[in-house]
Structure 1
Amino acid sequence: MKKISLFYIFLIFLFILSLGFILKTGQNLEPVKVNFHSSQTSPEQNTKTKNHLSKNTSSRPDFLDLEAMGKIFSGHLKQPISRLLLQLIVIMFSARFFGKLATVLGQPSVIGEILAGILLGPSLLGLAFPEGFQLLFPKESLSTLQILSQLGLLLFMFVIGMELDLQILKNQAESAVVISHSSIMFPFLLGAGLAYFIYVPLAPEGVDFIAFCLFMGIGMSITAFPVLARIILEKGLTKTALGSLALTAAAADDVTAWCVLAIVVTIVNAGSFSSGILMIVMSLTYMFVMWKGILPLMKRAGNVYTTKESMTKSITAFFFLFIFLSAWITEAIGIHALFGAFLAGVVMPDKKELRDNLVEKIEDFSLTVLLPLFFAFTGLRTKFGLLSSSGLWPIFFLILFVAVLGKLGGSSIASRMSGKNWKDSLSIGILMNTRGLMELIVLNIGYDLGVLSEEIFSMMVLMALATTIMTGPGLKLVEFLFTKGGLTAKATSNAGILISFAQHSRGLELLKIAYGLFPEKKKKER
């Protein structure tokens, strides 16, 4: 054995013996506070110190005391960082598992992540394992979870903004505004009409009809911009004219809807229209500044910082600061922080290399870790136990029917009037009918203000989930009807074959070629 090994063993042995001797010798010592000042310690302070010491000494566990060790371990689990890590583990695993399951079933993975949040919430986990639910998601820990989820949503919306084709947006700006405003006015009017019939039996006591009516209208008008964006991203429609138009219309829809929501909130709070109008003016001003002032500067930056070598840590930090600053400005205005992040992505340089580098730095972490927290946090706040009364189900289906009719119908009609064919019009209507968790944010505002009762809140939440689940099957149904035996196929089957030829001998040869291309025509004539 080498000398260095012997020295190492001796050093460890000496360390253990010395430390054990010090601990054993000082075990019976008691500290005596030495007063270095003129005043002496009061008898009450000495008594309090002795009691604290005796309490700590008595609570010192024996290594064989499993009960005491279990209490210490449980206390460690209740530490904020320990609980947050456990929440991340559970939420990420649940989101990935149910996201994959939803994909297998033909649904977007976002549906599985939403359902994962509901399964972890009070509606299921809280009922089946209340103690485990309280240990995993105590109320004091939800604020941290909410902040992280909002951060993930901001980064995701920045990526979605970068994915947009600005040239397509310029060509479709007029159509997008018409579609978005139609998708607000139609469901808003139907929701207000529905409020007239359900106000008496279901509105909270003491709530003014105008406030209830306006919140039912705005609750029907929301399109889930982030959920719709993620569905479009997963289906590969981001670079298509249909996907860009739907995403642009949804963005305009939510900006307008949030402005209308601000006006509604001011009315509910006995305010005036002036604050809502001011917010709209500030929002339009900020968009103008971003488009005319920041966009040209970003184009210049794109000519310099394109390669990975040029994307230093300082430059990357600058882009992150730009994202958060834009989000902070829109949050301060009152429309929502995520639109600031989206606008920051839209005005980024259109250099593919630069965008790819930023997406690589942001997308994986935000999509995998942070964004599922957004769905989980919202699921933790929903309760479906209030729908146990069978008398509420007919009202729920009426709410669902009105929501689908207003959103899908209004968007589809406006899209058709803008020149789109029926296939694209219905597809846009189905995409705009996606409400998701942006709807839940609006509902929570109404619930916190006391405008929406628990019953209405629960039914509207269920409506939001149902309309989101409809999106995938609805798009497939439209694709089937217009491409596989539906309207397009029927129109083709009624068409004939026109052959032009000068010589009679060439007619038979051309007819054989035509039948080779369209064999169904030969069978039909037979």
Structure 2
Amino acid sequence: MSNHPAAKRRTGRGLQAWGVYVLLAVVPVSITVALVSRMDSSTGTTSAALGFPLAEFLLTTATVLAACKAAGWLTQRLGQPSVVGEIAAGVVLGPSVLGALSPTLAEFLLPASGLPALNLLAQLGIALFVFLAGLHLDTRLIRGRGRLALVISHVSIATPFLLGILLALVAHRTLAPAGVGQLPFAMFLGVSMSVTALPVLLRLLVELRMFGTETGVLAITCAVVDDVTAWTLLALTIALTTASSLSGVAVTIVATALFTGLLLLVVRPLLNRFVEGASEKRLRAAMPLALTGVLLCAMATEWIGVHAMFGAFLFGIVFPRDNALTDRVQETISGFTTTLLLPLFFAYSGLRTDLGQLFAEPTSWLWFLAVVLVAVVGKLASSAVAARALGEPWPRALQVGALLNCRGLTELVVLNIGLDLGVLSQQLFTILVLMALVSTVMTAPLVRLFRSWPAKGSSAPPARSAVAGLDDDAPLVRSQPSF
């Protein structure tokens, strides 16, 4: 009998809870359903537009990451750098393969409505990528062998640039978009013939176990000068393309020079002072500072008119080196960029590459062969001849030429800019993407072939005389690349 009052209280609370639930939950839901069922549903288009973009984008991202990583793993097993497979995966996902075999599946995995978001993230990836490229440039490598690096690298740019200009004069009528003049078309084709993919080159040297060798350091040293010169040429080309008059070109060039001077003379000392003797707490705070700096510098050069990637590259050059902050920034940004953002860029480039145009027009293959011949002869042959003339034996000279002929991802950056500006046609864009793949694929096999050649019959002095004081097994660079 003592439990009877307690049982009554529990029963009372149960009835009270059900009453509150019915009054404050069931009744409001019923009224809401009744009201909604009477409303006009004519805004179905807007609802559809807002209903699935995130799901579509997540599916696109997962598809791109899986394809790029699988293709990268496969090409590494075949003795090629993973970037070759990642670029090829982008082409396969586009209209050239998947879009041709199954347009429905291609639209499901990579819907056209998701391309704007894909492009924005791809552009962010490129900004961070070129920042890392600038961060990896160690200009101290040039000291003591500046003459050798300067001559080889400038020959490796000037010769293919000239050949690209000459090819553009012949190809302008056939391959240039309507309304594009000879000057911007020729400049972009010249730059696309001249670039070297420094990050891909660094990765290749690691995979070929040449990162700390004399040949590897000679190639990196030349590529350092090559990269700075090529990006500067690209900035000038963009200025000439986008400016409406010669005075506009002059304003863009002057503004770019002033911005560069500001970074070198003001921002670099401030960053060095900030990092010097920094505590762990300050280092943690510096990571957002680094990312903010990349984005602000990219924004500044985009406003100036020489593309966002140039500002990000300059910020990488002036960023402090050889400290805990640099290592932390590189590890953090590199992992995020190479794992997520760059595969999105490969996919976006692949979606813009249509091999069907080459099969539709047989003459396109002749243009492709001409472009590959100009690119390889202009870059590989001229670099090798210059290195041989400066005392390097032929095997090493040819290895340097083959390494500088690697274009990889850097070429795709240039080509996408040209396509966005309307200077390159879709047909020429596809041809140049294939050229970038071919020149990158041939790098490792050629280097292995030239390494097997003995340096007999050469009157040239030993290679150590050209790059004095180096040890073949010494770690000659700051750190091995992580991107």
TM-score after normalising by structure 2 = 0.77
* Contact 2:122/2:341 (<8 A) preserved: yes
Query: Using CA pairs below 8 Å that are at least 6 residues apart, which structure has the higher relative contact order?
Result: 2
User: Hey, what does 1:291 align to over in structure 2?
Assistant: 264
Residue of 380, 389, 401 corresponding to 1:408 = 380
Residues 218 and 320 of structure 1: CA distance in aligned 2, closer, same or farther (over 3 Å): closer
Residues 300 and 226 of structure 1: CA distance in aligned 2, closer, same or farther (over 3 Å): same
Residue of 350, 356, 361 corresponding to 1:379 = 350
- Partners of 2:414 and 2:322 lie apart in 1 by 36
* Contact 1:203/1:212 (<8 A) preserved: yes
User: Hey, what does 1:248 align to over in structure 2?
Assistant: 224
Specify every segment of 5 or more residues in structure 2 that has no aligned partner in the other structure, as ranges: 1-5, 460-483
Report the CA distance between 1:392 and its aligned residue: 3.0
Residues 211 and 76 of structure 1: CA distance in aligned 2, closer, same or farther (over 3 Å): closer
Letter of the structure 2 residue corresponding to residue 385 of structure 1? G
1:111 aligns to 2:84 (yes or no): yes
* Contact 1:232/1:238 (<8 A) preserved: yes
Residue of 421, 437, 442 corresponding to 1:470 = 442
User: Hey, what does 1:487 align to over in structure 2?
Assistant: 455
Letter of the structure 2 residue corresponding to residue 106 of structure 1? G
Report the CA distance between 1:424 and its aligned residue: 4.3
* Residues 292-331 of structure 1: pairs in structure 2 closer than 5 A: 292-305=265-278, 308-312=280-284, 314-331=285-302
Residues 304 and 476 of structure 1: CA distance in aligned 2, closer, same or farther (over 3 Å): same
User: Hey, what does 1:345 align to over in structure 2?
Assistant: 316
CA deviations 1:406-463 (Å, max 9, x no partner) are: 1222333344455655444333322332233443444455556655444333322222
Query: Percent sequence identity over matched residues?
Result: 36
CA deviations 1:20-78 (Å, max 9, x no partner) are: 9954896478868xxxxxxxxxxxxxxxx98635889xx9xxxxxxxxxxxxxx96996
CA deviations 1:369-395 (Å, max 9, x no partner) are: 222222221112111101113343233
User: Hey, what does 1:222 align to over in structure 2?
Assistant: 195
- Partners of 2:295 and 2:407 lie apart in 1 by 25
Q: 1:349 is paired with a residue of what secondary structure? A: coil
User: Hey, what does 2:238 align to over in structure 1?
Assistant: 262
Greater Cα radius of gyration, structure 1 or 2: 1
RMSD across aligned C-alpha pairs, in angstroms? 3.9
User: Hey, what does 2:108 align to over in structure 1?
Assistant: 135
- Partners of 1:85 and 1:31 lie apart in 2 by 35
Name the count of aligned residue pairs. Answer: 442
- Partners of 2:32 and 2:123 lie apart in 1 by 52
* Contact 1:157/1:226 (<8 A) preserved: no
* Residues 144-183 of structure 1: pairs in structure 2 closer than 5 A: 144-173=117-146, 175-183=148-156
Report the CA distance between 1:109 and its aligned residue: 0.5
* Residues 31-46 of structure 1: pairs in structure 2 closer than 5 A: none
Letter of the structure 2 residue corresponding to residue 350 of structure 1? R
Specify every segment of 5 or more residues in structure 1 that has no aligned partner in the other structure, as ranges: 33-48, 60-73, 493-526
* Contact 2:299/2:311 (<8 A) preserved: yes
CA deviations 1:253-309 (Å, max 9, x no partner) are: 32232134225415xx7x43343344344434433333333333333333222x645
* Contact 1:211/1:451 (<8 A) preserved: yes
TM-score after normalising by structure 1 = 0.71
- Partners of 2:264 and 2:392 lie apart in 1 by 27
- Partners of 1:289 and 1:242 lie apart in 2 by 31
* Contact 2:255/2:304 (<8 A) preserved: yes
Letter of the structure 2 residue corresponding to residue 345 of structure 1? G
Q: Which moved more, 1:339-348 or 1:135-144?
A: 339-348
CA deviations 1:349-371 (Å, max 9, x no partner) are: 33433322323332222221222
Q: Which moved more, 1:119-128 or 1:154-163?
A: 154-163
* Contact 1:386/1:455 (<8 A) preserved: yes
* Contact 1:330/1:336 (<8 A) preserved: yes
Report the CA distance between 1:245 and its aligned residue: 0.9
CA deviations 1:86-142 (Å, max 9, x no partner) are: 122111111111111110000000001101111111111112221222233233321
* Contact 1:183/1:253 (<8 A) preserved: no
- Partners of 1:288 and 1:384 lie apart in 2 by 43
CA deviations 1:129-180 (Å, max 9, x no partner) are: 2122223323332121122223233333333433443421444555544444
